[in-house]
Amino acid sequence: MMPGMRAIGLLALASLACARTAPRDASEVVFRHQPLWGDPAPFHAMLDRFRRENPDVRVRDETMPNASDMAREMFLTTLDGGGTELDLFAIDVVWAPEFARAGWLADLSAAFPADRLRDAYLPGAIDAVTLGGRVYAVPWYLDVGLLYYRTDLVPRAPRTYDELSQFARAAMQRDPGLSGFLWQGRQYEGLDCNVFESIWGHGGDLVRGGGIALDTPAARTGLAWLREAIATGLSPRSVLSSAEEETRRAFQDGRAVFLRNWPYVWAEAQNEGSPIRGRIGFAPLPTVTGEPGHGTLGGWQLAVNARSPPMRRRAAERLAAFLTSPDAAVELALRYSRIPARRAVYDDPRVREGAPFIAALLPIAAAARPRPVTPYYALASDSIQGELSAAVAGLRPPADALSRAQAIVDHLQENR
């Protein structure tokens, strides 16, 4: 963690500690979340509208550090200690099973029945918050892995891995200063996402018999493809130390043909002064067969503290329903470029006119797949990243790395 981020985190912890000492009444809901970025006024106006429509509920809005790992640590500290100083809070898409298994999340199935949610939301978003048939959080907004490409350098979006390689190498031959394909290969959660997408793109799955399945033929082929991309020069070795922003900046500076990243890149690349403004497109990730690929599902969900007193819990459920309503999803799309979890919002005329990029994301968002929905995913992810990193860096054959990674997750599953 960079020193500046640590300082910000300490300030945030101090601020939240002060908030915990402030007096509360039985009707006050503390809502804790990461910043949405952009002008906070529209979001504050949304909360003011909820207050007007629900005069019996007081809402205290508290923002967390933007770093996901820091936010998780703060939640773990509060919830594991039985804290009731927060009632409604935004959680990363991969935290719900872990937090639910620990008993920290209220079961929301009565207020948000699973069958009703499945009728309204994209399937991956509901799968990520459902455990044992019970709903433990409500999807707020999504993220999904995309393929960006330079429309002035390639004839169209590639559908297969072979086409991606062919298009990229042709552009690189014309301009040797270009990189072909940028992706996130640093040893962190982003590497997992890229590896999972390559496994799916090579016809594999990540779940078998209720557990994480990594040692499979498709997984070996998918991981080997990423390794070969570096070994053959399709991807520069710099991807091994790159996360989202390093790859986004290189692509936006005009130094690459293709980029795998998240939807936020679109707005950044189209900003005034961007060297590639008006010269990029986006598409689903490629596959072996040419069928549209599956991007990793990201995003945030709203959960209720299982230890909140009954009155505050019911009020938190009402606030969650308000913030995840169709109108709120439209507002988040228009004001903050947040990707809707609700299916119908993509067809809303306000979104089609005001945020055409988001409206066009529907097929990709609908095909997004969650990472393995299991209470031990966070621990497994941290444990296998070293093996995946060794494979893409050429330090260990992909087959050996996946065999070792499988032994790790099997051990975790047996002992949790």
pLDDT digits (tens, 9 = 90+) for 56-85: 999 999 998 877 778 888 999 999 999 999
Confidence grade of residue 11 (pLDDT, cut at 50, 70, 90)? very low
Which tokens hold the place of 328? 């709120």
Q: What's the topology of domain 24-142+297-366?
A: D-Maltodextrin-Binding Protein; domain 2 (3.40.190)
Indicate the CATH number of 146-293+376-414 among 3.40.190.10, 3.30.300.20, 3.30.450.20, 3.40.50.300. 3.40.190.10
pTM (global) more than 0.75: yes
Residue 92: CB partners within 8 Å, gap ≥ 6? 68, 71, 72, 298, 300, 301
Q: What's the pLDDT at 5?
A: 42
Q: What's the pLDDT at 416?
A: 65
Q: What is the pLDDT of residues 145-193, one digit of tens each?
A: 999 999 999 999 999 999 999 999 999 999 999 999 999 999 999 999 9
Mean pLDDT along residues 264-273: 92
Q: What's the pLDDT at 3?
A: 38
Provide the greatest CA pair distance for the chain. Answer: 68
Strand partners, 40: none
Q: Is the confidence at residue 7, as pLDDT, over 80?
A: no
Single-letter residue type at 345: V
Comparing CA positions, the residue from 73, 55, 95 lying closest to residue 13 is: 73
Identify the burial level of 22 via C-beta atoms within 10 angstroms of its C-beta, where 0-12 means exposed, 13-18 middle and 19 or more buried: exposed
Q: What's the pLDDT at 290?
A: 98
CA distance 236 to 231: 9
Confidence grade of residue 14 (pLDDT, cut at 50, 70, 90)? very low
Q: What's the pLDDT at 10?
A: 41
Mean pLDDT computed over every residue of the chain: 92
Q: What is the pLDDT of residues 94-153, one digit of tens each?
A: 999 999 999 999 999 999 999 999 999 999 999 989 988 999 999 999 999 999 999 999
Q: What's the pLDDT at 206?
A: 95
What helix, strand, coil percent values describe the chain, rounded to 5?
50, 15, 35
Q: What's the pLDDT at 69?
A: 76
- Asked whether the beta carbons of 263 and 144 are under 8 A apart, the reply is yes
Q: What's the pLDDT at 45?
A: 97
Q: Is the confidence at residue 4, as pLDDT, over 80?
A: no
Give the residue extent of every domain in the chain. 24-142+297-366, 146-293+376-414
Q: What's the pLDDT at 1?
A: 40
Strands 256-261 and 179-182: parallel
Same topology, domains 24-142+297-366 and 146-293+376-414? Answer is: yes
Mapped to the 3 state alphabet, what secondary structure does 61-121 carry?
EEECCCCHHHHHHHHHHHHHCCCCCCCEEEEECCCHHHHHHCCCECCCCCCCCHHHHHHHE
CA distance 161 to 356: 28
Q: What is the pLDDT of residues 331-364, one digit of tens each?
A: 999 999 999 999 999 999 999 999 999 999 999 9
